[in-house]
Structure 1
Amino acid sequence: MMAISLLQSFLQQEYTSNSIFLTAISVITFLFLAYLAISEIIGKHLQYSKFWNVNSSAKQQIKLSSTTGMLILYTPAFLASLASFWVFPDGGIRFMMAKSAITIHFFKRVLEVLFVHKYSGGMVLDSAILISSSYLFASAAMIYIQHLAQGLAEPVIDLKYLGVALFIAGIGGNFYHHYLLSKLRGKDEKGYKIPRGGLFNLVICPHYLFEILTFIGISFICQTTFSFSCSIGIALYLIGRSYVTRKWYLSKFDDFPKDVRALIPYVF
């Protein structure tokens, strides 16, 4: 009972008649993301980046350029979150923070696709649609659930300003390490290299670490069951993805530093 009471102090009041439905959505979303994490670890990868053609079945699937695929991933979620300012123009400071953070996150990703990233692989259409739909659903649902929470009791422990700080640190660190990755290749180079600089000297996926921090920040701003289920689920997926990414580098580069971890410096 004490643990439940402590947990409830971090959450906004549940949504009366909608609470069972929203709890079910939160559980299903978490289980779906956890399933994707397990799939990555056992070799059933979402087919983009280094693993875009890892499965032989991909030969019969529609392939996209990485730029096109990545724009499909992020643009619908960005447009939906941007539209929320017109659909739900009113609301308190927490609601405005939530809409703004989600919109800024996906807008940043679209800009990175257009102006920062240098790609060498491709993406399978099925994976692009799955990931894009997941991002669209998660962003729209977080905003809508935040809208439903308007006027209900605020959490006993207010985390929204801490959430803003974590969000800023997350998108800043994520962008910086994406920038370092973009500088690995020359204009016409397509091959992979071992990343250097920043936290790449300690972990192979610091951009994932800061992505997790970004979503933790968003969940702290929202403080709803659904937002926390999303951030935990995304963290699990990126943990799985970073694990197989490190294995990939170890298999491709004999000089890959063995002390460089997957995601968390000195730990994992």
Structure 2
Amino acid sequence: MWLSEILLRFIYPPPPSLFISAMSAISFASSASAGFQEIKGKHMKYSKFFNVGSLSSTADNKAKFSGRIGMLVAYTPAFLAGLASFALFPYGGLRFSLLRSALTIHFFKRIFEVLFVHKYSGGMEVETAITISTSYFLSTVTMIYSQYLTQGLPEPLIDLKYAGISLFLLGISGNFYHHFLLSKLRSQGGDKQYKIPQGGLFNLVICPHYLFEILGFIGVSFISQNLYAFCNAFGMAFYLMGRSFATRRWYQAKFDDFPENIKALIPYIF
């Protein structure tokens, strides 16, 4: 009872919706589980670590998109869902508008990076692209719907939305900057040779882009202050922690001169 009273100072009461409750649990559990799988060496199919060291793969026989088209398929439905929400729910107050804006900007930025920043050297299975796309779309729709259900409820006693805006802007800016630095490691001719990233926070951690992405997700949860948004943010944090751990291990194995002082995600700590 004491814990629930503290939580309700920061979040809206969970809505009487079985769908939202189930999606909150699924979002956290699935993302956290995927993070542990990354640590154990079981990687997502779109990861550069997938099938590392294998001589052949049955995946070669499966239908594929190019890497760029695959990622556009992954991100575009969620972006369109964010845009459509403004037409479907034209009113809703400042917090609701901020949340929808943040989600729409987040996926617009990802699409912009796919088109103009990232360089791709491989393909993506059609099945994988559709799975990722469905996941992002459902997550976006669920977050918007769960926020819609808070309409008319008393605001949380501790208002985090302005801190959330700051965290979101910091996260999306830092993530974009470090993605830009990563893109500079490959030549325009499609160089597939991996190099140790440098510049920005890469001198301290190997995955600063994940660190800033986590800050962005936390920012969105602060803007929203509902149960699903927090479950989604912390689930993604666990997943990206696992990804960063796997990434650092991969660089250590690939480069004999990889600096030991460079951590995975959090400078000087992890």
TM interval, shorter chain, is over 0.9
Mapped partners of 2:73, 2:172: distance in 1: 20
Paired residues of 1:49 and 1:121 also in contact (CA < 8 A): no
Task: Choose the corresponding residue for 2:29, options 20, 28, 31.
Answer: 31
Cα drift, residue 245 of structure 1: 0.9
Mapped partners of 1:192, 1:135: distance in 2: 28
Mapped partners of 1:267, 1:248: distance in 2: 19
Paired residues of 1:142 and 1:226 also in contact (CA < 8 A): yes
SS of equivalent residue, structure 2 residue 118: coil
Q: 1:5 is matched with which residue? A: 5
| Structure-1-length-normalised TM-score | 0.94
In structure 2, relative to structure 1, the CA distance for the partners of 1:51 and 1:127 (3 Å cut) is farther
The one-character-per-residue Cα deviations of 1:116-165 (angstroms, maximum 9, x if unpaired) are 11122332333322222111111111001111111111111110000000
Task: Choose the corresponding residue for 2:46, options 45, 48, 68.
Answer: 48
Paired residues of 1:52 and 1:124 also in contact (CA < 8 A): no
Indicate the RMSD between aligned Cα atoms, in angstroms. Answer: 1.5
SS of equivalent residue, structure 2 residue 121: coil
Cα drift, residue 66 of structure 1: 1.4
Task: State the percentage of identical aligned residues.
Answer: 59
Q: 2:213 is matched with which residue? A: 211
Paired residues of 2:20 and 2:142 also in contact (CA < 8 A): no
Q: 2:230 is matched with which residue? A: 228
Cα drift, residue 8 of structure 1: 1.3
Write the letter of the residue equivalent to 2:2.
M
Mapped partners of 1:21, 1:113: distance in 2: 32
Write the letter of the residue equivalent to 2:242.
G
Mapped partners of 1:82, 1:198: distance in 2: 32
The one-character-per-residue Cα deviations of 1:98-120 (angstroms, maximum 9, x if unpaired) are 00000000000000100011122
Write the letter of the residue equivalent to 2:23.
I
Mapped partners of 1:202, 1:95: distance in 2: 36
SS of equivalent residue, structure 2 residue 48: helix
Figure out how many residues of one structure are paired with residues of the other and give that number: 266
The one-character-per-residue Cα deviations of 1:200-257 (angstroms, maximum 9, x if unpaired) are 0011110011011111000000000000000001111111111111111111111111
Mapped partners of 1:52, 1:45: distance in 2: 5
Paired residues of 1:48 and 1:121 also in contact (CA < 8 A): no
SS of equivalent residue, structure 2 residue 26: helix
Write the letter of the residue equivalent to 2:30.
F
Greater CA drift, 254-263 or 127-136: 127-136
Cα drift, residue 52 of structure 1: 4.6
Mapped partners of 1:147, 1:83: distance in 2: 14
Mapped partners of 2:63, 2:143: distance in 1: 31
Q: Does 1:80 align with 2:81?
A: yes
Paired residues of 1:203 and 1:260 also in contact (CA < 8 A): yes
Structure 1 unaligned residues grouped into runs of 5+: none
Structure 2 unaligned residues grouped into runs of 5+: none
Mapped partners of 2:62, 2:213: distance in 1: 29
Greater CA drift, 193-202 or 4-13: 4-13
Mapped partners of 2:257, 2:34: distance in 1: 30
Q: 2:118 is matched with which residue? A: 117
The one-character-per-residue Cα deviations of 1:32-80 (angstroms, maximum 9, x if unpaired) are 1122112222222112241254473433433332111111111111011
